[in-house]
Amino acid sequence: MREIIDPHTHVLPKMDDGSRGTVMSIEMLKRMKAMGITVVCGTSHYYRRDESIREFCERREAALDRLSEVLTDDLPRVIPGSEVAFFHGISEEEDLEMLCYEGTRTLLLEMPFTDWTSSNVDEVRSLVLDRRLNLILAHPERFLFSKSNKEYLRRLAEMNIYFQVNGENFTSFFTRKEGLEILKMTPRRLLGSDAHNTEKRPPNLDAARSYVSRKMGAEELERIDEAACRLILGT
Ligand SMILES: [Fe+2]
């Protein structure tokens, strides 16, 4: 049976503005399991201004250890990763590979919530072309507030970069059409929950998966799952 992966969550306890402790992490994992998810990536926020990559990885290991103590076999497997906030010089950062999903060269990148510059986009290109990373762009739909970002996204969509659209787009009648549009910007697409907690930003991939399956077909959902397996599990 194929693994169903959630590539973007803040399930690791007390790492960032996500899960506030192991009890909440377990509740999130239970809900994800009920949605058919078998592998959950703990992609805690990494901010260059706050800590070094090594410090972040040490904290993450401790969080994963705490979670492992209470994680039971019936729950989804948790894989460490990170959601790396873009920073100037990222393409030349020596330790960047440590932020990839464990055991891969796949990086989840969060672009700045500003108007992007051409030098920002050049660095993103360099991550793919020079650094040879598999790049996943976290929630591109959240950057569409600017016309120039939209144009940059169109250009990035032509490269070997995956667009990971958030599940929350598909939980509301008012945003799901837009979610679908951005999914259609590229053939390289993924769905992630970006779940932070059990309250305002809960696990939500069930709505996204059924909407995409309805509108794009069950085969397309399968392609999305296959891509996630390839990028994150290497299978
Ligand atoms: Fe996130």
Query: At a CB cut-off of 8 Å and minimum separation 6, what does 57 contact?
Result: 98, 99
Alpha helices of the chain — where are they, by DSSP H? Answer: 22-34, 53-70, 118-129, 147-156, 176-183, 205-216, 218-228
Mean pLDDT, rounded, for 154-183: 94
- Is residue 165 within 8 A of residue 234, CB to CB? The reply is no
Mean pLDDT of the chain: 97
Kindly give the distance from the C-alpha atom of residue 197 to the centroid of ligand 1, in angstroms, as a whole number.
11
Dist. CA 103–CA 81, nearest whole Å: 10
H/E element, 161: strand 161-166
The string of pLDDT tens digits covering residues 68-106 is: 999 999 999 999 999 999 999 999 999 999 999 999 999
Mean pLDDT, rounded, for 109-125: 97
Q: Please, which pLDDT band fits residue 1 given cuts at 50, 70 and 90?
A: confident
Kindly give the distance from the C-alpha atom of residue 82 to the centroid of ligand 1, in angstroms, as a whole number.
9
Question: Rg of the chain's alpha carbons, rounded to an integer?
Answer: 17
Kindly give the distance from the C-alpha atom of residue 204 to the centroid of ligand 1, in angstroms, as a whole number.
13
Mean pLDDT, rounded, for 7-29: 98
Kindly give the distance from the C-alpha atom of residue 49 to the centroid of ligand 1, in angstroms, as a whole number.
17
189 φ, ψ (degrees, to nearest 5): -125, 150
pLDDT for the residue 2 = 83
Kindly give the distance from the C-alpha atom of residue 1 to the centroid of ligand 1, in angstroms, as a whole number.
28
Kindly give the distance from the C-alpha atom of residue 104 to the centroid of ligand 1, in angstroms, as a whole number.
19
Exposure pattern of 69-80 as b/e (b: 16+ CB <10 Å)? eebeeebbebbb
Q: Which domains does the chain have, with CATH numbers?
A: 5-233 (3.20.20.140)
